[in-house]
Structure 1
Amino acid sequence: MSKTRELLNELQNLDMDIQSRIDEINELEAGLLSSPKWSDVKVQGGQTKKVDDVYAQLIVMKEAIVQDTKEVINRKLELGRLINQLKNPKSRSILRMTYITKTYIEDICDNLRISKATYYRLRKQAESELEETIIGKVS
């Protein structure tokens, strides 16, 4: 698989990663708000922990997830900026609609008033243009 195809597949899957992290944060927050007000928590055979310690651990965990989410979002922005460097506006549009907004092929064809065959030809051309941009950045 070419480097361009790998980056485009990564870009396409980042939304799912971001959403799962947001869901995880929401679950943590819901758990913090709905937790019973214990006086302490004890793991079998372990030491008794104060509720404040448990809350502190959950807050640290939430902050770590938030930071990780920011990094994933920054990666998505970085990959989007690679697409923005393409000179051909139609190439940018096709790649953005395909990999960032995940527009259905039929809708892309309708929006651009092109056939499916033209879409596939233009997408391949846009991917080649992106490959050249990536190679140019590396060298």
Structure 2
Amino acid sequence: MSKAKELLNELQSLDLDIQSRIDEINELEAGLLSSPKFKSDKIKGGSTRKIDDVYCQLIVMKEAIEQDTSEIIMRKIELGRMINKLKNPRHRTVLRMTYIIKQDVFDICDKLDISQSSYYSQRKTAIEELDKILE
């Protein structure tokens, strides 16, 4: 697989990664809000552990997830900027609509007023041009 195709596939999957991390943060926040505060939990045969310690750990975990999410978003911006380096605006548009906006081929063809064969031809040319830029 070409370097350009690898990057475009990565770009296409970043949204799911970002959304899963947002969902994880929402779950953590929901747990923080619904948990009883300022109590001690004792596990049979174990030591007492304050809920405050658990809150601290959850907050640290949330901050780590937010940092990871920020890095993924920066990666998406970086990959988008690589597409911006294409000289042909039509090629940039085809790649953006396909890999960033994730529009259906039929919608892209309709918006750009082109046939499907033209779409595939332009996408192939754009990927080849992106490969040259990445070399």
Range into which the TM-score falls when normalised by the shorter chain: over 0.9
Give me the TM-score of the superposition, normalised by structure 2: 0.96
Cα RMSD for the two superposed structures:
1.1
Amino acid at match of 1:16: L
Q: Hey, what's the Cα distance between the residues in 2 that align with 1:36 and 1:64? A: 23
Q: Distance in 2 between matches of 1:23 and 1:29?
A: 10
Q: CA deviation at 1:49?
A: 1.1
> In structure 1, what is the equivalent of residue 67 of structure 2?
67
Matched, 1:29 2:19: no
Kindly indicate whether residue 39 of structure 2 is the aligned counterpart of residue 5 of structure 1.
no
Quote the residue 2:121 is aligned against.
121
Residue pairs, 1:80-99, within 5 angstroms: 80-99=80-99
Offset, 1:44: 4.6
TM-score normalised by L of structure 1: 0.93
- Opposite residue 8 of structure 1, the aligned amino acid is L
**How far apart, in 2, do the equivalents of 1:101 and 1:134 lie?**
22
Structure 2: segments with no counterpart, 5+ residues: none
Identity of aligned residues (%): 67
1:113 and 1:129 mapped to 2: Cα distance?
Answer: 22
Decide whether aligned partners of structure 1 residues 48 and 5 sit closer, same or farther in structure 2, where only a CA change above 3 A counts. Answer: same
- Contact kept in structure 1, 2:38 and 2:52, CA below 8 Å: no
Task: Report the secondary structure of 1:41's partner residue.
Answer: strand
Deviating runs (4+, > 6 A) in structure 1?
none
Distance 1:45 1:132, change over 3 A: farther
Unaligned runs of 5+ in 1: none
